[in-house]
């Protein structure tokens, strides 16, 4: 189990494709090699550089290379008061939702249920039932429902208005 935990943490550093330290704090940890899953529960706090992910539970799904036996993280699923903060060279995002899924190989984020993202540099806010963002190609999709439509809030500069 200890060997698997070390492998899990090592593979998780691939999440951000940087050589920074990944820190995971949780009240409980479980791993199942056969199913390729590590489960962190209880006030889970993940930090790498300036990026943060907090939730009550985070499941990390792995694929094992049959030749090298190395484990590659395929998907992270955060549930229960899930929120995040991502800082890139150009942007600073904070957000939350009922469930946050991150696929590191595709650099895709999906927020399911009560989704919210705030792009702080330009003060843009997006609300929706499902929010999808692909960091590689810049694609974003937001879905609402009949009772809860998509909401997009942006401050628009109308130029200098002079009253005469």
For residue 39, is it within any domain? yes
For residue 162, is it within any domain? no
On the CB side of 95, CA atoms within 13 Å amount to 31
For residue 69, is it within any domain? yes
**Model pTM score:** 0.78
Tell me the per-residue pLDDT of 78-102, one tens digit each, with 9 for 90 and over.
Answer: 999 999 998 877 888 899 999 999 8
Tell me the per-residue pLDDT of 134-158, one tens digit each, with 9 for 90 and over.
Answer: 878 878 899 998 888 898 888 887 7
Position 19 scores a pLDDT of 52
For residue 163, is it within any domain? no
Position 160 scores a pLDDT of 66
Position 15 scores a pLDDT of 46
Q: Is-contact 125 95, C-beta < 8 A? A: no
H-helix segments, 2-103: 2-12
Show the domain range for 42. Answer: 2-153
Q: What is the number of structural domains in the chain?
A: 1
**Has residue 48 got a pLDDT over 90?**
no
For residue 140, is it within any domain? yes
Q: By percentage, how much of the chain surpasses pLDDT 90?
A: 44
Tell me the per-residue pLDDT of 8-29, one tens digit each, with 9 for 90 and over.
Answer: 444 444 444 445 677 889 999 9
**CATH number for position 35:** 2.60.450.10
Distance (Å) of CA 132 to CA 65, 70, 113: 28, 29, 12
pLDDT: which is higher, 25 or 68? 25
Give the integer Cα–Cα distance in Å for 13 and 24. Answer: 11
**Has residue 6 got a pLDDT over 80?**
no
């Amino acid at each position: 189990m200890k060997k698997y935990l070390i492998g899990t943490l090592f593979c998780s550093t691939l999440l951000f494709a940087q050589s920074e330290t990944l820190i995971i704090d949780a009240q409980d940890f479980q791993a199942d090699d056969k199913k390729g899953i590590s489960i962190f529960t209880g006030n889970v706090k993940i930090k790498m550089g300036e990026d943060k992910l907090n939730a009550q539970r985070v499941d990390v799904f792995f694929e094992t290379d049959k030749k090298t036996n190395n484990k590659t993280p395929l998907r992270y699923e955060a549930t229960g008061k899930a929120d995040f903060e991502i800082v890139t060279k150009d942007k600073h995002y904070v957000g939350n939702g009922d469930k946050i899924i991150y696929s590191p190989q595709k650099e895709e984020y999906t927020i399911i249920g009560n989704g919210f993202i705030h792009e702080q540099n330009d003060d843009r806010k997006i609300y929706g039932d499902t929010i999808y963002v692909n960091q590689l190609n810049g694609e974003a999709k937001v879905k609402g429902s009949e009772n809860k439509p998509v909401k997009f809030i942006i401050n628009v500069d109308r130029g200098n208005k002079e009253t005469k």
